[in-house]
Structure 1
Amino acid sequence: MPSLLILNGPNLNLLGQRQPEVYGKTTLEDIRSRCMAHAEGKCALAFEQSNHEGTLVDMIHAAKGTHDGIILNAGAYTHTSIALMDAIASVELPVVELHLSNIHAREVFRHKSYIAPVAIGQICGFGAAGYILSMDALLGHLRTEDG
């Protein structure tokens, strides 16, 4: 059974409270519960969050040899972190870039992603449902990879 790591970056611990008009009213714990339920019988799942870039880099490094793929909602680090991009490239695991909001319909500075060049794909704009979409997309990719 494949193993996935869902990584959440800065400020995502405030989901449900922070800008609900942009990010919705669903909490990160609600999303974790939905993902765990969706994973049953399909994959093993680890679900993590950190506000610290170095911690996220460490978790990406630790995923190699432990998980088969990563779903990354890097939050604002998407637009600034060459360190996360390099970490993803170094572990050679498939990564799905995830965003709750449609970053392409927001401020111009959010249009640039340092994650996209090293990700297999990007899901954005579907709110909390994007996590399940990302899981299904990554699992489908892994099935295709295995032939």
Structure 2
Amino acid sequence: MAKIKVVLIEDSVVALEILQRLINSSEEVEVVGTALDGASGLQVIEQNQPDVICTDLQMPGMDGLEFTKEVMKRFPRPVLVVSNAVQPSDVDNIYNLMQAGALDFFPKPTSGISTDYERLKSALVTKIKVLASKRVS
């Protein structure tokens, strides 16, 4: 079975590294491109045609909300927002992102993830697999 292709958009190099490691450690999912901001993320999506896009919300230049709107206009596909700003208490952020077309949310892993690595990987990969089966327009 072909792996699910993911593009990661994340301005923190550390978080990008952690997410990439989590995703690539799965046999079913692989990162096919990364970008540090929304504008270059759009180019990476065009080049790699991923099945799912994981994006941060708070980024310089084009933030995750604006980026999600652009993705839905130009390359409609499932968007998973991975951010510290999508905790259950961040109702406004979550509502705005859902309105823009994001399908799901995942709290950004922090550097102290060694204890929960497998659980974190499993949760993230499961979300990506579910989103990959969704059709967006």
TM range (shorter): 0.5 to 0.7
Determine the C-alpha separation between the residues in 2 that align with 1:131 and 1:125.
12
Q: Distance in 1 between matches of 2:54 and 2:64?
A: 16
Matched-pair identity in % = 8
Distance in structure 1 (CA, Å) of the matches to 2:66 and 2:46: 11
> Is 1:37 matched up with 2:25?
yes
Q: How many residues matched?
A: 124
What is the CA–CA distance in structure 2 between the aligned matches of 1:133 and 1:44, rounded to whole Å? 15
Structure of larger gyration radius: 1
- Unaligned runs of 5+ residues in structure 1 are 16-26
Partners of 2:82 and 2:122 in 1: how far apart? 10
* 1:70 aligned onto 2:58: no
- Mapped to 2, the partners of 1:124 and 1:104 lie a distance apart of 6
Partner residue in 1 for 2:82: 98
| Contact kept? 1:103, 1:111, Cα under 8 Å | no
- Counterpart for residue 140 of structure 1: 130
Q: Which runs of 5+ in 2 are unaligned?
A: none
Q: Which residue of 2 aligns with 1:84?
A: 67
CA RMSD after TM alignment: 3.6
28 and 84 in structure 1: CA distance in 2 versus 1, 3 angstrom threshold: closer
Aligned CA distance change for structure 1 residues 132 and 8 (closer, same or farther; 3 Å):
farther
Residue of structure 1 equivalent to 2:98: 116
Residue 75 of structure 1: SS of its match in structure 2?
coil
Q: Residue type matched to 1:53 in 2?
A: G
Structure 2 equivalent of residue 61 of structure 1? 46
Give TM-score, length-normalised by structure 1. Answer: 0.60
Equivalent position of 1:48 in the other structure:
34
TM-score (norm. length: structure 2): 0.63
For 1:62 and 1:139, the matched residues in 2 are separated by 21
